[in-house]
Amino acid sequence: MPVDALDTRILRLLLQQPRTSVREYARILGVARGTLQARLDRLERDGVITGTGPSLSPAALGHPVLAFVHIEVTQGHLDEVGEALAAVPEIVEAFSITGGGDLLTRVVARDNGHLEDVIQKLISLPGVVRTRTEVALRERVPHRLLPLVESVGRAAGIGTAGNQATGSRPAGNPATGSGTAGNPATGSRTAGSSATGSRAAGR
C-alpha cells in the first residue's frame, strides 16, 4: 500500500524527533493515538520503517577510514562469498551490482594499515578473484531520507488534492460538472434539442 500524506507527516516526525513518545507524536500531528499506532504498525509491516535503533558513527567508534571495495567473484560463487562477507565486522554494507565487479562493499577501518588487512582478508576468501578499492576522502552528502520523505509527501498531497477537485463532478459530464448525462456541452439543453436550445425536436 503506498504511503499517503499522513504517513509522510509521521515519517518526517520520526526522522526529526526520533526519541519522542507515541503519545507526543499523536498530539503534534493532531490524530488519535490509536490511529497513529495503527499507521506505525502498517508502515512496519510494509517495510517502510525498518528499524528504531540509534544511528551510530563508525568514526566515533574508532574507525574513521571509509572505503568502497569492489569484489569480483568466480562464477557460481556469489552467494557463498556474500555469506562470507557477513562474517567480516568491518564490512557495514554489501550489495550485488552490475558493471565492473560483482559485489560492492562499504568498509570501515581504524587506519590505512587496518584497511589493507581487511582487503587482504577479502582477497583470501574462497571464490574471490580480485578486488578494487576506493577510499572516501570527505562526506559531501550525509546519509539522509528526510528530503525523499518530503518529496513523497508533496506527491501524495498533490494526488489527494486532485482527487478532491474532481470527485464532485457527476458521472457523464466531466467538462462542467453541471450538465445532465449525455449533454456535456452546456448542461442546460435537453437530449434531442438543437444547437440553439429553442427549437423543438424535429423542427
Structural domains of the chain ordered from first start: 5-45 (1.10.10), 65-135 (3.30.70.920)
CB 187 within 8 Å of CB 179:
yes
Q: Compute the distance between CA of residue 47 and CA of residue 11 in angstroms, rounded to an integer.
A: 13
What does the buried/exposed string (b/e) look like for 142-165 if buried means 16 or more CB atoms within 10 Å of the residue's CB? eeeeeeebeebbeebeeeeeeeee
What does the buried/exposed string (b/e) look like for 85-110 if buried means 16 or more CB atoms within 10 Å of the residue's CB? beeeebbeebeeeeeebbbbbbbbbb
Q: Compute the distance between CA of residue 67 and CA of residue 109 in angstroms, rounded to an integer.
A: 8
The more confident residue out of 71 and 154 is 71
* Range from 10-19, 131-140, 179-188 carrying the lowest mean pLDDT: 179-188
Q: Is the pLDDT of residue 49 over 70?
A: yes
Q: Compute the distance between CA of residue 13 and CA of residue 52 in angstroms, rounded to an integer.
A: 13
This prediction has a pTM of: 0.69
Q: In this predicted model, what pLDDT tens digit does every residue of 4-22 receive, in sequence order? A: 999 999 999 999 998 899 9
Q: In this predicted model, what pLDDT tens digit does every residue of 58-84 receive, in sequence order? A: 999 999 999 999 999 999 999 999 999
Q: Compute the distance between CA of residue 62 and CA of residue 80 in angstroms, rounded to an integer.
A: 30
